Structure 1
Amino acid sequence: MSAIDHPNIQWRRVSSKYATLGAINYAITTLFFIAVAVGLSFIPDDGWWWLFGAIPAVIFASQIFFVVIRTRAIGYALREDDIVYRQGIWWSRMVAVPYGRLQLVDISRGPIERMLGLASLKMVTAAASTGLAIPGLPLEEANGLRDHLIRVAETRRAGL
């Protein structure tokens, strides 16, 4: 059993409102392609031009159903020496960022995220491959996590 799969690690999930955010984004894109399909259907020809809008609309609409599953697969855990982040269903990604390597911890919020009370927490290290962003956190949790990570990072860097 690896350290990441250890049963004592308490994984924290992102807010279920993050699924709502994803569904809204896919719905907007779907509506755009529906409008394209309708517009292309007025082209006087054999009548197949509308497929250039309809096919992407169907693809994006089908993604709305998978948003909840993908949201449930996102999580993070605070360990003694690092923060571990996981995401993905088919192609999973798991990243461990040592606290002492953190250089910047930032919170960002788009307009729909603000309406839903969500935020994304971004962590930057010297190595670009280990930087990560945790989306879909409630704002209070993101602020608390940012403050905790900054506090712990300062003590770990001082010990280097």
Structure 2
Amino acid sequence: METGSPQGAQTTGTEPDWTGLPPGLLRMRRLLLVVWLGPVTLAVGLLLGAFAGPAWSGLALLPLALMAWGWVLLGRNWRSWRYAERADDLLISRGVLWHEETVVPYGRMQLVEVRSGPVERHFGLAGVQLHTAAAATDATIPGLDPAEAERLRDRLTELGEARSAGL
């Protein structure tokens, strides 16, 4: 996991100082994968074994293979997420096959929210949702430590107010 300065990523070179997502998000997503596909695998194996014969219970390997494939894909997706705080904007990069890099200028931010649903709270995670005037540029950073999410919200709000006051 790449980590950057917790107080911001002002860089002197051309490459920004990227911050990766904490491993708690990956653990949560993988556990949810097992919680949903584990019982499906078991049910397919038991039901097919009981009603169609023991040879058919081998089809339970399909959801098991799907779970293994999802395990790998979740890891790749988690590693692709990162963000960087620069002097005038926030960069968010994500995606494996379709790579997206979102640039949100601080002066364009209208609202910065910290969100955490019941599953995220259980795993000690929170996300930051950025709202701008253009709905197409709204951005999210998922799976942060709640303290980091609040720090980022406060910093982005402060920078947004300072930049918009200068307009």
Task: Please report the TM-score for the alignment, with normalisation by the length of structure 1.
Answer: 0.83
Where in structure 1 are there 5+ consecutive unaligned residues?
none
- Which among 98, 107, 113 is matched to residue 100 of structure 1? 107
- SS of the residue corresponding to residue 84 of structure 2 reads strand
Q: What do the CA deviations read for 1:22-48 (whole angstroms, capped 9, x no partner)?
A: 111211221242244146416745875
Q: Does 1:89 align with 2:96?
A: yes
Residue number in structure 2 paired with 1:6: 14
Where in structure 2 are there 5+ consecutive unaligned residues?
1-12
- SS of the residue corresponding to residue 6 of structure 1 reads coil
Report if the CA contact (8 A) 2:124-2:145 is conserved: yes
Q: Does 1:15 align with 2:28?
A: no
**Structure 1 residue 127: Cα displacement:** 1.3
Residue number in structure 2 paired with 1:112: 119
Specify the code of the residue in structure 2 equivalent to 1:41: L
**Structure 1 residue 60: Cα displacement:** 3.0
Q: What do the CA deviations read for 1:95-145 (whole angstroms, capped 9, x no partner)?
A: 001111111111111233223221111111121211011011111110000
Specify the code of the residue in structure 1 equivalent to 2:147: E
Query: In structure 1, how many angstroms separate the alpha carbons of the residues matched to 2:39 and 2:51?
Result: 21
- Which among 34, 41, 60 is matched to residue 34 of structure 1? 41
Residue number in structure 2 paired with 1:77: 84
- Which among 107, 116, 141 is matched to residue 134 of structure 1? 141
- SS of the residue corresponding to residue 22 of structure 2 reads coil
Query: In structure 2, how many angstroms separate the alpha carbons of the residues matched to 1:130 and 1:76?
Result: 15
Percent identity between matched residues is 32
Q: What do the CA deviations read for 1:52-91 (whole angstroms, capped 9, x no partner)?
A: x653442133211332332122100011111000011222
Residue number in structure 2 paired with 1:61: 68
Task: Please report the TM-score for the alignment, with normalisation by the length of structure 2.
Answer: 0.80
Report if the CA contact (8 A) 1:40-1:50 is conserved: no
